[in-house]
């Protein structure tokens, strides 16, 4: 079973590529950001708690995020594989994911990291904010905070999987199709 982590800073194109990859390889796409936004729109207790952090560009605490992710994966027993988009974002999340998979004799297949320079990210997110309606996409200081959090707390997850040679860097600049083909060239050998 394929367990693919689509990695990279906010605005690097993970969501766009995850949708295309999920279709091509018949994988379930799980975006923790989307799950939080759904909870927020439903005004659930979890959603309102998450919003306190999301609106400031901060990470939602591990406890909440890991619990939500596990619940989602367990609700999909018939899945042929998963794309994790926006998760794991901390070493604690990576360890929790590894342990959850280990319980089923599974492990992460590959981590593909989309590399995009900071100025391009800011431009892309502000542009996305025009149509996404996401408050965290409309404020440049929040966007820069999210990038800072990525560098301080999330980037280490790349190294966590690099130890087992599972982490790969992908050039995240170019057309959607060009980037998609780059990603596919790393996934095809796993199928």
Residues that bind ligand AMP (CB under 6 A): 10, 32-33, 36, 53-54, 57-60, 65, 86-87, 89, 93, 136, 146
Q: Is 142 helix (H, G, I), strand (E, B) or coil?
A: helix
Nearest distance in Å: CB 106, ligand AMP: 19
Nearest distance in Å: CB 40, ligand AMP: 9
Residue nearest ligand AMP by beta-carbon distance: 33
b/e sequence 135-162, b meaning 16+ C-beta within 10 Å = ebbeeeebbeebbebbeebbeebbebbe
Nearest distance in Å: CB 101, ligand AMP: 16
Return the number of the residue (65 or 167) whose C-beta is nearest ligand AMP.
Answer: 65
Nearest distance in Å: CB 188, ligand AMP: 26
Dihedral sign, CA of 184, 162, 98, 89? negative
Dihedral sign, CA of 73, 84, 91, 143? negative
Return the number of the residue (82 or 87) whose C-beta is nearest ligand AMP.
Answer: 87
Return the number of the residue (54 or 121) whose C-beta is nearest ligand AMP.
Answer: 54
Return the number of the residue (88 or 183) whose C-beta is nearest ligand AMP.
Answer: 88
Nearest distance in Å: CB 66, ligand AMP: 8
Return the number of the residue (87 or 158) whose C-beta is nearest ligand AMP.
Answer: 87
Residues 6+ apart with CB under 8 A from 1: 79, 80, 81, 106
Nearest distance in Å: CB 191, ligand AMP: 26
The Cα 141–Cα 46 span in angstroms is 25
Return the number of the residue (32 or 109) whose C-beta is nearest ligand AMP.
Answer: 32
User: Mind spelling out the 3-state secondary structure of 73-89?
Assistant: HHCCCCCCEEEEECCCC
Q: Is 29 helix (H, G, I), strand (E, B) or coil?
A: strand
């Amino acid at each position: 079973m394929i367990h693919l982590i689509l990695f990279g800073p906010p605005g690097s194109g993970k969501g766009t590529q995850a949708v295309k990859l999920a279709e091509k390889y018949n994988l379930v796409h799980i975006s923790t950001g989307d799950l939080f936004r759904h909870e927020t729109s439903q005004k659930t207790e979890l959603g309102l708690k998450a919003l306190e952090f999301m609106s400031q560009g901060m990470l939602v605490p591990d406890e909440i995020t890991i619990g939500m992710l596990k619940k989602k994966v367990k609700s999909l027993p018939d899945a042929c594989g998963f794309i994790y988009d926006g998760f794991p974002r901390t070493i604690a999340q990576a360890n929790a994911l590894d342990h959850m998979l280990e319980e089923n004799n599974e492990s992460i297949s590959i981590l593909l990291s989309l590399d995009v320079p900071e100025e391009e990210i800011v431009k892309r997110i502000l542009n996305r904010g025009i149509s996404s309606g996401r408050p965290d996409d409309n404020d440049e200081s929040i966007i820069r905070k999210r990038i800072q959090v990525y560098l301080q707390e999330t980037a280490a997850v790349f190294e966590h999987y690099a130890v087992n040679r599972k982490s790969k860097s992908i050039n995240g600049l170019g057309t959607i199709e060009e980037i998609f083909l780059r990603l596919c060239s790393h996934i095809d050998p796993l199928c």
